[in-house]
Amino acid sequence: MTSKPGKRIHFFRTAMSPKALGLVVTSKSPQPIRVDWWTYCEFESDDAAFEEHHATLTGAHSVVAYPPVLTGATLCYVSVNAGAAGRAAVTAATFAG
């Protein structure tokens, strides 16, 4: 997903039975990138076991994160909100393995 110049992007993804999660946000601009991510992973249902994590990261040209995954998770939700200063555009993707 790519933002319009000067705009932030926000997206939400679902991963089924992931062993690992990752996200990458890049920009061709030297302007700082700010990424806010949040994950919620559960085992069978939130009544059994769940974990929630979030962080804010910054960097130039690229930001990479590997959010923790609940061992044995059957479902994880990933939310990403990212942008760069000025008129810069950002491109972002999430991965599950």
The structure tokens listed for 61 are 């040209």
Q: Is the domain 9-96 a CATH 2.60.40 member?
A: yes
How much is the pTM?
A: 0.91
Tell which residue, 74, 61, 54, has the closest CA to residue 28. 61
- Assign 44 a pLDDT band (cuts: 50, 70, 90): confident
pLDDT > 90? residue 31: yes
Q: Cα–Cα distance between 19 and 34 in angstroms, integer?
A: 26
Mean pLDDT to the nearest integer, 43-57: 88
pLDDT > 70? residue 58: yes
Q: Which 3 state secondary structure label does DSSP give 8?
A: coil
